[in-house]
Structure 1
């Protein structure tokens, strides 16, 4: 009898797995799983969906000595693990009450109904706990074993006569526990595949955003106008497959490409209220239905949209809009793509306002400083941030702030001199991103003397620190430490960047300081020339091949610019 029961449950589990697999591939179900927060309607709707499946699996069970061997607990526990306590309990109540009063198996009807409700509650309570775990399917199996064990205990406590209940439990405990626990584990695996697909889609969107930013850079570097907006919108339209792409300033439509161009016309006043709200509030907004877009043309074929602000100096100067021609079709990856483009475009527009001729001493300095923000660094930084988005959202947010500060500070310095504190902060932002990428391979130490309130030329330290990391520490498999010190000595401010990396030969040091050398180090040679022209001091480089490098900057305190600052080291 035990083997027959096990075989029957296995056959039904196979059909359930196929059903769940097909369900996991539907866009409707994926949108539910990937929602960050369920609405009240979502919770009620999916409580009935999973509760209905629980009823179906009850009818589909195998009658055994006054009980029913079934897989009802799989969907009820899964409901809680996906939708939280409310959905799990709701599904448990629907399937459990049905088991109590409608379906046969009188010996265990009431006990199984109670255990079904408890199973949904347990699944919901464990949702947040297992979200932080790696092997979630193992925890799904464990929860399944716990729920089935509780059900058997409840049967023994409530069902009468006890002898028949005990006989039934002995007969169904092992096969039901094994089958249903495995079913829950398989369900969790299939759901995790949805999240994995979402992560891969997010990585592709990040790559797409970088490709678009690269293609639009020549236009947006000329500022936000009808020409640059039209070229940019056409590039985005071709590369993203959106139903329409639009770019506005704070008053007018600068470009609209795709559906709706019969009434969303270049030069017209902004026509959608959602765009006006984004400009007013300075934050992105999503409209999943045509009524939420609130276009003044009631026959507009555009059904959903993500609108992100374009900013300069934290001031909203326009919007970027990606439209779809179906309602509820804006996915989380679409949102991340639009937000990423908005951030990159804002940075590009800020760059368009910078006068490089006033910032730098010569054209060679322009090329050298532009080279500091290399495309591969930006790409690697964004990839690192993407990898933290699910595992550590707070860390991802901090890294985005660091990257934003790094980009803006690197391209926005127009003064001849800036506070040492700001230069240190730029270096800290760069190193924070590199530490996130390379983890234990890169260690950083700071030893900044308090009250070093001096001003120095911008972008003096960052090229040296970057050179120490890229060419000093990272070639070592175990990495190493870079230490940044600043102190006063003999009427001089001494700034030292020291690493315990691979070091350099005398020829390599000479090449590093020579702008004519075609190898790495143009940024460092630029720093050396600027220091020599301003202060009459060259960089001092002490390097021991195989043991590390120390670079010293000497700035005379006599006549040195003082600044007000609250730097404390």
Structure 2
């Protein structure tokens, strides 16, 4: 039975329905991930089911011909393989094939086999192109090959042969003409989506780079209220967002635009959506006011995209882009926010590297100053001179301690050394100071042997001891005592330097928490030590100070027990 032109026209009509369905599918999130060729197993399962349903739908829209069906089932099965590979195409084809077999008819088994084979054949073409878009002429050729294969399988499997031959005569030309065209159209739609996605990505990347260039001078200073305010102002000025906000881990650093009357930096609480991003480290969209989670009843912010700012794997803050209308976050917003967060995170990491380099350089400068400090050297030489006749052995011991101190000072502060080595240098320093002050300076050690191999940056303890003597004990006419202890606390080591000197009032303690550029500032050494330890070991480590005016001070150093070689931590 030869084919009729009406059959060809009818198949083209149904193929246009499938092409429309393809366009709708190309707008779904699964297809958007598929466009990037980074589908996970869950997405692949969804694609199998989608294409299997598409193929089953094509079976039901088939046209009865000679106790069989002229249909477009191959479009679903083969396109699944062209986009998802042999596994996706074969699985979608198998599901659609089993469904066709259950419908019965003399060609049911042959159609089940051919549908599965066509899905696998499409997947073989995908293997050749891998992550490249498949050109539509290739998809067209694949469709012709697939439909030709189906005709051969029907002839080989369907019985009686005379009925199979009659069916082929009726459906071969329409199906080999229409279905490959449908497959090609499907691939054109997907390729257009790929191209559109690339254009969107390029535009947003260019915009993100432009913003990043303008914000670089600010973010290289670190994540501070000043840098955050200027960065948020730049983003707000170059985009049509209702508001832009930047936070650290605890508070709002800057908020520009709508809602600034109650989203007040350093005073207002973080929204629920922001807290979730800071907790999980994952980008999040808030489509409604409720999802944003602002407690202010008059807040006009309706939707937001929130992305984490990171230093390595550590979340240090968040960038938020707001619209006043609800459900207004687009893929463009997602792309821009994600790109900006990545660039800002890189800039902040570079800022931290610069800051650590400056701290290390400052530490080396202080070490060099300690080596050539005229007062320290003059006092030590005077002590040696006064003892060289009356107590030559003591003078000789001070010279040895001075040599030990200078030799230790030559080490580079960017490395780490065992605690025992650091204590050797501290002991040399204290021995010299004890020779100067005599009974006015008492020193005790209580070192847990298990902590002696803990790695610590050089010139961590010595500046604290020097600070205790100079600012804690010297103001007392009677002098005082210093004790150095170390102990284990879980997976950490805690080193304490205590004195019974004059102590510090709250204002003096605050100086140790703030960076200052005055070299004569008494807290600069304490700040330097604290920031170096935090920079190397993380925010949970560093220096804390307990001090009571008139009763003395205790400085605690907390570091992790790390079994790493020298220099591995920087």
Moved more, 317-326 or 232-241: 317-326
> Which residue is 2:348 aligned to?
346
Are 1:237 and 2:239 an aligned pair? Answer: no
> Which residue is 1:8 aligned to?
9
- CA separation of 1:150 and 1:288: change in aligned 2, threshold 3 A: farther
What is the Cα deviation at residue 144 of structure 1? 1.8
> Which residue is 1:148 aligned to?
147
What is the Cα deviation at residue 346 of structure 1? 2.6
What is the Cα deviation at residue 37 of structure 1? 2.5
- CA separation of 1:306 and 1:98: change in aligned 2, threshold 3 A: same
- CA separation of 1:152 and 1:322: change in aligned 2, threshold 3 A: same
> Which residue is 1:99 aligned to?
100
Q: Which runs of 5+ in 1 are unaligned?
A: 360-569
State how 1:443-458 maps to structure 2 within 5 Å: none
> Which residue is 2:193 aligned to?
194
Q: Say if 2:63 and 2:70, in contact at 8 Å, map to a contact too.
A: yes
What is the Cα deviation at residue 230 of structure 1? 2.2
What is the Cα deviation at residue 196 of structure 1? 0.9
| TM-score, scaled to structure 2 | 0.51
State how 1:149-228 maps to structure 2 within 5 Å: 149-217=148-216, 219-220=218-219, 223-228=222-227
> Which residue is 1:337 aligned to?
339
In the TM superposition, what whole-angstrom CA distance separates every residue of 1:403-459 from its partner, at most 9, and x where no partner exists? Answer: xxxxxxxxxxxxxxxxxxxxxxxxxxxxxxxxxxxxxxxxxxxxxxxxxxxxxxxxx
What is the Cα deviation at residue 161 of structure 1? 0.5
State how 1:311-460 maps to structure 2 within 5 Å: 311=311, 317-322=316-321, 326=327, 333-334=335-336, 336-343=338-345, 345-346=347-348, 349=351
Aligned counterparts of 2:314 and 2:99: Cα–Cα separation in 1? 58
Aligned counterparts of 2:150 and 2:304: Cα–Cα separation in 1? 46
Q: Say if 1:9 and 1:70, in contact at 8 Å, map to a contact too.
A: no
What is the Cα deviation at residue 194 of structure 1? 0.8
- CA separation of 1:345 and 1:133: change in aligned 2, threshold 3 A: closer
State how 1:461-472 maps to structure 2 within 5 Å: none
What is the Cα deviation at residue 82 of structure 1? 3.2
Q: Say if 1:308 and 1:338, in contact at 8 Å, map to a contact too.
A: no
SS of equivalent residue, structure 1 residue 308: strand
Aligned counterparts of 2:304 and 2:86: Cα–Cα separation in 1? 31
- CA separation of 1:341 and 1:297: change in aligned 2, threshold 3 A: farther
Are 1:55 and 2:53 an aligned pair? Answer: no
Aligned counterparts of 2:131 and 2:32: Cα–Cα separation in 1? 21
Are 1:19 and 2:14 an aligned pair? Answer: no
> Which residue is 1:69 aligned to?
70
What is the Cα deviation at residue 146 of structure 1? 3.3
Aligned counterparts of 1:45 and 1:280: Cα–Cα separation in 2? 29
What is the Cα deviation at residue 284 of structure 1? 5.8
What is the Cα deviation at residue 295 of structure 1? 5.6
| TM-score, scaled to structure 1 | 0.51
In the TM superposition, what whole-angstrom CA distance separates every residue of 1:486-517 from its partner, at most 9, and x where no partner exists? Answer: xxxxxxxxxxxxxxxxxxxxxxxxxxxxxxxx
Aligned counterparts of 1:262 and 1:90: Cα–Cα separation in 2? 57
Aligned counterparts of 2:106 and 2:296: Cα–Cα separation in 1? 61
What is the Cα deviation at residue 201 of structure 1? 1.1
Report how many residues are paired. 361
- CA separation of 1:167 and 1:88: change in aligned 2, threshold 3 A: same
> Which residue is 2:117 aligned to?
118
What is the Cα deviation at residue 162 of structure 1? 1.0
- CA separation of 1:21 and 1:280: change in aligned 2, threshold 3 A: closer
In the TM superposition, what whole-angstrom CA distance separates every residue of 1:322-354 from its partner, at most 9, and x where no partner exists? Answer: 467549855773465234432464377469859
Equivalent of residue 37 in structure 1, options 29, 36, 39: 39
What is the Cα deviation at residue 254 of structure 1? 0.2
What is the Cα deviation at residue 57 of structure 1? 2.0
- CA separation of 1:279 and 1:336: change in aligned 2, threshold 3 A: closer
Aligned counterparts of 1:334 and 1:120: Cα–Cα separation in 2? 37
- CA separation of 1:292 and 1:176: change in aligned 2, threshold 3 A: farther
In the TM superposition, what whole-angstrom CA distance separates every residue of 1:2-21 from its partner, at most 9, and x where no partner exists? Answer: 35167325632662475156
Q: Say if 1:84 and 1:123, in contact at 8 Å, map to a contact too.
A: yes
Moved more, 283-292 or 253-262: 283-292
What is the Cα deviation at residue 108 of structure 1? 1.4
Aligned counterparts of 2:31 and 2:286: Cα–Cα separation in 1? 16
Aligned counterparts of 2:261 and 2:87: Cα–Cα separation in 1? 46
Aligned counterparts of 1:168 and 1:38: Cα–Cα separation in 2? 41
Aligned counterparts of 1:241 and 1:90: Cα–Cα separation in 2? 46
SS of equivalent residue, structure 1 residue 160: coil
State how 1:502-517 maps to structure 2 within 5 Å: none
Q: Say if 1:213 and 1:344, in contact at 8 Å, map to a contact too.
A: no
- CA separation of 1:296 and 1:192: change in aligned 2, threshold 3 A: same
Aligned counterparts of 1:97 and 1:197: Cα–Cα separation in 2? 37
Bigger Cα Rg = 2
SS of equivalent residue, structure 1 residue 254: strand
Report the aligned-residue RMSD: 4.7
SS of equivalent residue, structure 1 residue 53: helix
Q: Say if 1:213 and 1:341, in contact at 8 Å, map to a contact too.
A: yes
Are 1:249 and 2:251 an aligned pair? Answer: no
Q: Say if 2:273 and 2:286, in contact at 8 Å, map to a contact too.
A: no
